Amino acid sequence: MTEVNRRYAACVEYQGAGFNGWQRQKHKSRTVQAVLEQALSKVADHPVSVITAGRTDAGVHASHQIVHFDSDSERSSFAWCRGTNRFLDRDVRVLWVCEVSEDFHARFSALSRSYRFIINNNPICSALYGSLTTHEFRPLQIDVMAEAGALLLGEHDFSSFRAAGCQAHSPVRTVSEFNLASQDQWVWFDITANAFLQHMVRNIAGALIEIGCGKRDLHWMRTVLEATDRTKSGITAGAQGLYLTGVGYPPEYSLPSSSKQVAYWG
């Protein structure tokens, strides 16, 4: 009897502090992809490779990373999820697994990605949240930062917010959502686009911090954007404040809905 190869989508959550990024590496650095594939392979009883919606850098977290993998092993969604988590450390978890059509692709089927960036705006860096947020000791002007971030909405050439080593073919991206809020010492923003360039969100965060602390004025954001030159922008904010919070797909795939809630911020 011929075994049927099935395609599965899965949602993965991880705390990035203990990983050297997402992508599997030839040397023995701990990466999210490597530990996830190892766990899935044990449940499948054969080697499993995963394709992700988007690779994250060392220290970056995810509350809703999407992957897909193929397997000829017959397992229920519950068995895939429960079994895989049994072989994972506590800083990474599979939240759900569901069978999808063979044309689903975690990366190429995605319509949008969403990130949240969290800043601990406090004179003293937190001992508890140091690996989960980016610290800024200078007081931030929240309203000014929100106005500056709104200037990024729409389709633009984001070369000024692109890492030097970015391999994307085009720097043009469309930002469809930007919201910034604060509570007590916490400041965060949510941003959604059709896709992101390498370090794009962290570079935007760095520019917003410079504007928020008064080092730059509000209109500097537009000047930087229109310059299409990374050297005209500001710092790259720390990776520890960045969370991948959602990936959007066409409704016909019927994936479980994304949640943008990260910890208790927002």
> Does residue 212 share a domain with residue 190?
yes
Does residue 152 share a domain with residue 122?
yes
Question: Do 66 and 139 fall into the same domain?
Answer: no
User: What CATH number does residue 25 fall under?
Assistant: 3.30.70.580
Q: Is 216 within 8 Å of 235 (Cβ atoms)? A: no
pLDDT in tens, 38-85: 999 999 999 999 999 999 999 999 999 999 999 999 899 999 999 999
Catalytic entry in 45, 57, 70, 72 = 57
The pLDDT value recorded for residue 261 is 47
> Are residues 212 and 167 part of one domain?
yes
**What's the domain range around 145?**
112-244
The answer to whether residue 38 is domain-embedded is yes
Tell me the mean pLDDT in the region 199-211: 97
CATH of the domain at 189: 3.30.70.660
Work out how many domains the chain is built from and give that number: 2
Whether residues 197 and 154 share a domain: the answer is yes
Q: Name the E strands within 50-159.
A: 51-52, 61-71, 92-100, 112-121, 134-136, 154-157
- Residue 78 within any structural domain of the chain: yes
Domain membership of residue 258 (yes or no) is no
217 is catalytic: no
- Alpha-carbon 45 to chain mean position: 30
Q: Is the model more confident about 25 or about 170? A: 170
Q: Are residues 119 and 88 in the same domain?
A: no
Same domain, 129 and 63: no
Residue 253, domain member (yes or no):
no
- For residues 134 and 233, state if they share a domain: yes
pTM here is 0.93
* pLDDT at residue 2 tops 60: no
> Is residue 179 over pLDDT 90?
yes
Residues 266 and 188 sit within 8 Å (Cβ to Cβ) = yes
Q: Is 252 part of any domain? A: no
Q: Is 240 a residue whose pLDDT tops 50?
A: yes
Domain annotation covers residue 266: no
Please say which residue of 109, 129, 161 terminates a domain: 109
| Last residue of one domain, picked from the residues 87, 109, 131 | 109
Q: What does the alpha-carbon distance between residue 184 and residue 59 come to, in Å, rounded to a whole number? A: 24
pLDDT score, position 210: 97
Instruction: Specify whether 237 is located in the same domain as 136.
Output: yes
